[in-house]
């Protein structure tokens, strides 16, 4: 039995009604404008690769610059929710000036889980900018021998 995991991208900046910013994003989506496309929203959603083996699903997400404690991973209402929030504040002081730089990155992703995922055994690992999750499958019960019953 082959089961696909559905992908749901979550974007807190999404609006129900189009705005000039949405229109510009759609207009600049063309690859001709790739080099001059403005970074209007500054929102990055990490790409995810999902593969399936006989015994598990594997999810890989590229999220460089994060620390493993900055991820939040939950299973809720049949969905796997993955989010991350990274903050950096850098201050340089000199006799003549003070420079402060801030960096903030966050994302949220949600994946619909198939019924055959063993949610109690999901494992996550973060190494070299890659978040890797293993979602083991439940072992299917072996079909019982068929027994015919005659009607009297």
70: nearest Cα among 60, 85, 87: 85
8 Å CB contact between 11 and 106? no
Q: What is the pLDDT of residue 36?
A: 42
Q: What is the pLDDT of residue 142?
A: 53
Q: What is the pLDDT of residue 139?
A: 82
C-alpha pair distances (Å), 97 with each of 89, 90, 91, 100, 103 = 17, 14, 11, 10, 20
Q: Give the pair of three-digit tokens for residue 12.
A: 């807190």
Q: What is the pLDDT of residue 145?
A: 65
Q: What is the pLDDT of residue 82?
A: 94
44: nearest Cα among 103, 91, 89, 4: 103
8 Å CB contact between 133 and 48? no
Q: What is the pLDDT of residue 38?
A: 42
For the domain spanning 6-136, the CATH number is 2.60.40.790
CA pair distance 80, 87, nearest whole angstrom: 24
Q: What is the pLDDT of residue 18?
A: 53
pLDDT in single tens digits along all 152 residues of the chain: 444 454 444 454 554 555 555 555 555 554 444 444 444 344 568 889 999 999 999 999 998 888 999 999 999 999 999 999 988 777 777 777 777 777 788 889 999 999 899 999 999 999 999 999 999 998 876 555 677 777 87
9: nearest Cα among 92, 112, 114, 123: 112
Q: What is the pLDDT of residue 33?
A: 45
Q: What is the pLDDT of residue 54?
A: 92
Q: What is the pLDDT of residue 96?
A: 75
Exposure on the CB side of residue 134, measured as CA atoms within 13 A:
10
Q: What is the pLDDT of residue 141?
A: 63
Q: Where are the domains of the chain?
A: 6-136
């Amino acid at each position: 039995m082959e089961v696909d995991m559905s992908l749901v991208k979550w974007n807190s900046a999404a609006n129900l009604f189009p705005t000039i910013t949405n229109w510009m994003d759609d207009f600049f989506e063309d690859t001709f404008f790739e080099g001059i496309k403005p970074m209007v929203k500054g929102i990055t959603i990490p790409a995810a690769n999902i593969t399936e083996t006989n015994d598990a699903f594997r999810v890989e997400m590229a999220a460089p610059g994060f620390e493993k404690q900055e991820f939040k991973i939950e299973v809720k209402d049949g969905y796997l929710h993955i989010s991350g929030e990274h903050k950096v504040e850098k201050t340089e002081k000199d006799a003549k000036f003070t420079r402060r730089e801030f960096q903030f990155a966050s994302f949220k992703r949600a994946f619909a889980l198939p019924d055959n995922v063993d949610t109690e055994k999901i494992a996550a690992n973060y190494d070299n900018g890659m978040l890797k999750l293993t979602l083991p499958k439940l072992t299917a019960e072996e079909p019982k021998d068929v027994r015919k019953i005659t009607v009297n």
